[in-house]
Amino acid sequence: MMSNPHKLGVVVVGAHNLYPEDDEGSCSAFVELSFDGLRLRTTVKEKDLNPVWNESFYFNISESSHLDKLRLDAYVYHSVKPTYFKTKSFLGKIRIPGDSLSTYSDDVATDFLLEKRGIFSHVRGELTLKVYVTGPEPSNMSSSTPIAAAVAPLPSRDPGLAQEQLMTQGISNLATRNTEEAETRHTSHRLPNPSHHEDQPRQRPAAPPFSIKDDTCGFALKETSPNLGGGPVVAGHFINGPKTASAYDLVERMDILYVKVVNARDLPSRGVTGSLNPFVEVKAGNYKGTTKHFEKQKNPVWNQVFAFSKEKMQMRELEVLIKHKDPSEDDDIVGYVTFPLDAVPTIVPPESPLEPKWYPLEGQRVRRIKGEVMLAVWYGTQADTAFSEAWHSDAVPLNSSQIDSTEMRSKIYQAPRLWYVRVNIIEAQDLFVREDDNLPNVFVKLQMGNQVLRTKPVQDQNLNPIWNEEFLFVTTDDPFPYLFLSVEDRVGFNDTLIGRALIKLHDVQMRVDDRSIPSRWFNLEKSFVTDHPDDATNEVLLQESNSADDPFSSRVHLRICIEGGYHVFDESAYYSSDFRPTAEQLRRPSIGVLELGILGAVGIQPIKTRDDRGTADTYCVAKYGDKWVRTRTIIDNLSPKYNEQYNWEVFDPATVLTVGVFDNSCLFSTVHGGSTRHQRIGRVRIRISTLEVGRIYTHSYPLVALHPSGVKKKGELHLAIRFLCPSLLNRLYIYSQPLQPKMHYVSPISVADFDRLRFQAANLVALWLARDKPPLRREVVEYMCDVDSHLFSIRRSKANFFRVMSTLSGLVALFKWFSEICMWKNPITTVLVHVLFFMLVRFPQLIFPTIFIYLFLTGLWNFRFRPLYPPHISTGLSYAELVHPDELDEEFDTFPTSRPSDIVRMRYDRLRSVAGRIQTVVGDVAVYGERIQALLSWRDSLATALFVTFCFVAALVFYFTPIHVVAALAWLLIMMPPRFRRSWPSGPINFFRRLPAKADILL
C-alpha cells in the first residue's frame, strides 16, 4: 500500500498563564494531540504555569481531499500523582478544523485561547502552536509517545460544547443543529488560497474568531521596565533609590527645541502700496510651523511657542522667516534669522525660563535690513511651562495649512458641578378651563433644559387638583437655569394650556441635609414672552394679562429646593471616580495623590486610510473625579509617544481611574471626506485601592474593544501609575465611612430615577466640555462614562450569570464535599470530621475561634498568590471570546431596532426563551419562600398544626436536654452510614414539599 505524502505537522511551542491546579499555585502541564484517530502527547513540565516544549509531531493524512472533514484537537492536562480517582486534570482545550490549516511550513506560531469543556471548568491561558500541512515526514522528527496507534475517532458531539451552544442560541430549535455545522460557523474565516502564495506576498493565516488570537494580540497585562525621568524602574521602584515625586518623573524624558516668537518691530514695507501682512514661519528641517498673519501691521505681536522633537531633527540650523501674506501672489520673504543648533542653550526646570531678545533681520540680497524680531530659542523637556500651549511638530503633519493646531493641543478640563433639583408638585387652585370642559383632566409639565417630566392627570370638579408627586432634575450652577412649569388639560389626544409659571433657580433655597423645606405658591400666567425664544437661559419677561375681559388668578403649590447633599453620578456607581457630595462644606479633605504618566502606545491598528496606507491620529483622555485631561494628538503614527504626566487628588481609594484612547477622525474630514466622529480605540480602568502606596506600576495595557465581528485588540497603552498616601490612619478612617454621601441613605433615589439622572448628568457634562478649546467630543464623554451600560445584552447577561455561578461555586463545592462525608466516600476523612465535630460540641467555646483561625490561616496562605498587577479587562469574564455573531449584532443594534422583522422575531423568541428560564428560577425561589411562610399561616391547617406541635415538643426537649447532646444526636442522624439510609427523601423534606405556595393561585 502506497503511503500518502501529505502529513500534518504540529509544533507545540508552549503555553502561557495556565490555571494553577496544585496546592502550591502551579501545575505540571502536558499537551495531548488528537488527529484522525491518533493521539500523541508531549513531555510533562513540572511546576510551571508558562511551560515551553518546542516539540514537533507529525500525523499521516489518510486522504488529503477529506482534510476539511477532519480536525485537530489539543488538550492541556495537569499531571496528577496516582490517586483513587484520576491521574490528570483538565486545563483547557482547542479545536482547529482541517479547512483552516496552513499549507506551508514556515508559518508563524499562533496563540490559541483555551476553551472550557463544561460550564464549571476552570480554564485560563493560551496554548501556542504552529500547525501546517507538509510533505513526507522529515528525518529529524522529534520523538513522541503514541497513546494509541489506532483509536476510534472522537465523537462529533461534545457535551460541554453542546451545552454552551445551547446557552448561546437561547432557542430550542437552534439547539438541535448539528455540532459540526456550529463549529464551521464559528470558524468561518478561511486561509488564503495556496495557489496565490507565489504571486502575492506571504500573509499570516486568518485565525478563526473567538477561539484563537495572534501572538502579538495577547490580552494579558505586561510589566515593563522603562527609563523614566526619575531613573530606570524595576519591580515598581527606581533602581537608584527612592526619589521624591516631581512633575515629570513618571514619563520618559523628551528633549524638545522650543522657539518662542514674541513680536516684531519696524518691519519694512512691501509692494507699491507699502502695506505689510506679516506672519512668521519657523523651519526645522522638514518641519515648519506658522503663526497667524496680521493685516497692514508693521509691529505685530504673536506670542506663540513652537516645539520640535530633538530626536527627529536632522539639520544644523534653525530658520525663523518673516513673510508677507499676499493673497494674489506667493508669500514673499521679508527677512529671516538663523540659529546654529549647537549654540542653543539648555534650560531644565526649576531653572528660570529664557528671556526673549531682539534679533536683527537679514535679507536675501542685503545682509542687514530694517526691522527686528523678539525671539527665545532653547532646549527643554516636557516639564517646561510652554509645553502645553506650544505648537508641536509631532502633532501636526508636514503640510498643515489646512489643520487648526489648536485642535490637537493637550488640555486640562474641569467638569461642571452638578446639582439635583427636587420639585414636589402638591396642588393647584382656581384653575381656569374652557366652559365646554365638564370634567377637566389636569396635569403639570415641568421642563428644565431638555429634561421634561409630567405628573399624572387628575380629574377634579372643584378645579383644585391634588397631585403630591415628586421629581428630580440635574442641573449645573454656572449659571443656574430656569424651571418652566405649565398646567395643561388633556382633551382627547390634545393638551390645552391652562397656565404657565417661570421659576428662577437662583431664588430657590439650597439644602445639604433632609430638613423640611417650606412650600411656596406660584401664580400661573397665561403667557410669557422671551427676548430669545431659542435660548431658555436668557432673561425672561413675564407679561401679565390686564384685560378685564380675561381675568386670570390661578396658582400652583410647590415645594422646591436644590440638593447639595447628594453626589450626582455621571458614570456607573460600580466604577465611579468620585463619591463626594456636591456641597463644598460636606466634602472631606484628600487622603493622597494619584500620579499618571501616559507614556505612549504601540501596535495601534489602522483606523483609516491616507495616501493609500493605514494610519491613525490618536490622543488619550483620562478622567478622575471632575478633572479630565487630554494629551496632544499625534498625527499619522501607529506607535505614538505622548510622555505627559498628570496628577489628581484622591478622596476615596474605592474610586476608579479611566483612560481612553481615541482617533481624531475629523482633522482631514473636510479634505478627504472622512468621518466626523472621533473613533474609540480602547479603554483602561484602574481601581485605586488595588495599588500599593508608593509603588510605580509600569505596565502595557492591551486596548481591548468589542466590535460586531468580535473582541479585538486595537493596540497597547503604556502607562506609569503611582499612588501616594502619607497617612495610613486616613486610609483606615475612610474605610469606616459610608461610600456615598449620607443623603443617599437617608433619602435614597430609586433605580429608575438613578439611571435617568445619570444619563442627563453625562449629557450636561458632554455639553459643557464641548465648549472648551479644543473641545472634548460628545462621543468621547459618552464612552468614558459608559452611558450605554444599562442597555440589554445577552452577552452581558450570560457574563453576569457565570459570575454568579463562580461566586456560588465555593458553596457548591462545600456542599458536595459534605455530601461525600455524609455518604462515607472516604471513611478516614469522615472519622476525622466526626472527631472534630464532637470536640467542638464538647467545647463549644472553641467554635468561633476555630472558624476565625481557619480564615486567618487561609488569608495567610493566599498571600503568596496575591495579584502583583493592577486588574485589567478580562475577555473571558466578559464572555466576549465565544460570543455568537448574532448576539454581537444584536448588541450593536440601534434603539429602537433597525433590523428586518424576521431577525427581530428570532431575537424576540430567543429573549423569551432566556426570560422563561429566569422566570422559572425566580418562581422556584418564591415557592420555597412561600412554603416557609405557610408553616404558620394555617393555609394548610393540618400542616400548621403538625408544625406547631413539633415546635412545642422541641421547646420542651431543648429545655430539658443539654444542647451538646441534641447537637450530637442530630449529627449522628445526618452522618448516618449509607447502609442505614433509605433511598427516598426523608420525612421533613417530604413534609416541606407538601406545603402550599401561592403558585396555584396565579393566573
Q: Report pLDDT for 410.
A: 86
Q: What are phi and psi of 712, to 5 degrees?
A: -135, 155
- Would residue 119 count as lying in a domain? yes
733 and 613 within one domain = yes
Compute CA distances 317 → 309, 314, 917, whole Å: 14, 9, 75
Q: Return the beta strands (E) in 135-201 as ranges.
A: 145-148
Domain closes at, from 85, 110, 134: 134
Cβ-in-10-Å burial (0-12, 13-18, 19+) of 911 comes to middle
- Our separate counts of H helices and E strands in the chain read 16, 46
Closest CA to 558 of 605, 524, 527, 522: 522
Tell me the C-alpha distance between 665 and 608, whole Å. Answer: 8
747 and 601 within one domain = yes
Which tens digits make up the pLDDT trace of 798-822? 787 787 877 778 888 888 888 888 8
Q: What pairs with residue 130 in β-bridges?
A: 11
- Would residue 579 count as lying in a domain? no
Tell me the C-alpha distance between 573 and 776, whole Å. Answer: 23
Q: Report pLDDT for 736.
A: 87
Strand (E) or helix (H) holding 724: strand 710-724
Peptide bond into 136 cis (omega under 30): no
Q: Report pLDDT for 534.
A: 41
Q: What are phi and psi of 807, to 5 degrees?
A: -65, -40
Q: Cell triple for residue 825?
A: 466516600
pLDDT band at 194 (very low <50, low <70, confident <90, very high): very low
Tell me the C-alpha distance between 393 and 289, whole Å. Answer: 8
Which tens digits make up the pLDDT trace of 266-283? 888 776 666 788 888 888
Tell me the C-alpha distance between 467 and 428, whole Å. Answer: 9
* Structure-model confidence comparison of residues 394 and 90, the more confident one: 90
Mean pLDDT to the nearest integer, 897-905: 84
Q: What is the 3-state secondary structure (H, E, C) of 390-419?
A: CEEHHHCCCCCCCCCHHHHCCEEEECCCEE
One-character DSSP codes across 413-447: EEPPPEEEEEEEEEEEES----TT-SS-EEEEEEE
Q: Rounded to a whole number, what is the distance in angstroms from the first to the last CA of the chain?
A: 73
Biggest distance spanned by C-alpha atoms of the chain: 122
Strand (E) or helix (H) holding 335: strand 332-340
Mean pLDDT to the nearest integer, 280-288: 84
Compute CA distances 520 → 425, 466, 468, whole Å: 10, 15, 14
Q: Report pLDDT for 804.
A: 80
Alpha helices in 563-713 (DSSP H): 669-672
Domain closes at, from 785, 805, 825: 785
Strand (E) or helix (H) holding 618: strand 618-624
Which tens digits make up the pLDDT trace of 566-594? 999 999 888 899 999 999 999 999 999 99
773 and 803 within one domain = no
pLDDT band at 494 (very low <50, low <70, confident <90, very high): confident
Mean pLDDT to the nearest integer, 444-454: 92
Q: Report pLDDT for 104.
A: 54
323 with 334: CB under 8 angstroms? yes
868 and 770 within one domain = no
pLDDT band at 82 (very low <50, low <70, confident <90, very high): low
Closest CA to 27 of 54, 52, 46, 53: 46
Q: What pairs with residue 499 in β-bridges?
A: 487
- Would residue 181 count as lying in a domain? no
815 and 943 within one domain = yes
Closest CA to 226 of 600, 595, 594, 593: 600
659 with 630: CB under 8 angstroms? no
One-character DSSP codes across 5-22: S-EEEEEEEEEESPPP-S
Dihedral, 778, 783, 785, 786 alpha carbons, nearest 10: 130
Q: Report pLDDT for 455.
A: 93
Tell me the C-alpha distance between 619 and 409, whole Å. Answer: 10
Compute CA distances 220 → 74, 223, 377, 878, whole Å: 22, 10, 44, 14
423 and 377 within one domain = no
799 and 779 within one domain = no
* Structure-model confidence comparison of residues 690 and 676, the more confident one: 690
pLDDT band at 620 (very low <50, low <70, confident <90, very high): very high
Closest CA to 662 of 708, 697, 622: 622
Q: How many domains does the chain have?
A: 5
* Structure-model confidence comparison of residues 916 and 304, the more confident one: 304
Does 150 have pLDDT greater than 50?
no
One-character DSSP codes across 809-851: HHHHHHHHHHHHHHTTSSHHHHHHHHHHHHHHHHSGGGHHHHH
Q: DSSP label at 269?
A: P
Q: How far is C-alpha 556 from the geometric centre of its chain's CA atoms?
A: 46
* Structure-model confidence comparison of residues 979 and 603, the more confident one: 603
Tell me the C-alpha distance between 673 and 665, whole Å. Answer: 10
828 and 777 within one domain = no
- Would residue 186 count as lying in a domain? no
980 and 859 within one domain = yes
Q: DSSP label at 512?
A: S
Q: The cell 398646567 sits on which residue?
A: 487
Tell me the C-alpha distance between 250 and 227, whole Å. Answer: 9
Q: DSSP label at 47?
A: T
Q: Return the beta strands (E) in 212-251 as ranges.
A: 212-213, 222-223, 227-228, 231-234, 237-238
470 and 367 within one domain = no
Tell me the C-alpha distance between 993 and 639, whole Å. Answer: 65
Tell me the C-alpha distance between 625 and 578, whole Å. Answer: 5
Tell me the C-alpha distance between 411 and 367, whole Å. Answer: 42
- Would residue 545 count as lying in a domain? no
Mean pLDDT rounded to a whole number for the chain: 78
Compute CA distances 881 → 46, 99, 799, 876, whole Å: 29, 21, 11, 6
Q: Report pLDDT for 890.
A: 78
Find the CATH number of the domain harbouring 319: 2.60.40.150
560 with 520: CB under 8 angstroms? yes
pLDDT band at 660 (very low <50, low <70, confident <90, very high): very high
Q: Report pLDDT for 572.
A: 87
468 and 356 within one domain = no
Q: Which domain holds residue 311?
A: 255-394
Does 547 have pLDDT greater than 60?
no
Tell me the C-alpha distance between 1003 and 997, whole Å. Answer: 14
Q: What pairs with residue 337 in β-bridges?
A: 320
- Would residue 188 count as lying in a domain? no
Task: Specify the pairing of strand 614-615 against strand 237-238.
Answer: unpaired
482 with 502: CB under 8 angstroms? yes
Strand (E) or helix (H) holding 903: helix 901-933
Task: Specify the pairing of strand 301-309 against strand 317-324.
Answer: unpaired
Tell me the C-alpha distance between 761 and 568, whole Å. Answer: 7
Tell me the C-alpha distance between 215 and 127, whole Å. Answer: 10
pLDDT band at 673 (very low <50, low <70, confident <90, very high): very low
Phi-psi domain of 848 (left: phi exceeds 0; alpha: psi -120 through 50; beta: other): alpha
**C-alpha torsion sign, points 142, 146, 152, 155:** negative
Domain closes at, from 134, 165, 187: 134
* Count of Cβ atoms closer than 10 Å to residue 364 Cβ: 11
- Would residue 130 count as lying in a domain? yes
588 and 471 within one domain = no
- Would residue 75 count as lying in a domain? yes
Q: Report pLDDT for 247.
A: 65
Which tens digits make up the pLDDT trace of 200-252? 333 333 333 333 333 334 677 888 888 888 888 887 888 776 555 556 788 88
Tell me the C-alpha distance between 1000 and 1003, whole Å. Answer: 8
Which tens digits make up the pLDDT trace of 300-335? 898 888 888 887 777 788 888 888 887 666 667 888
pLDDT band at 624 (very low <50, low <70, confident <90, very high): very high
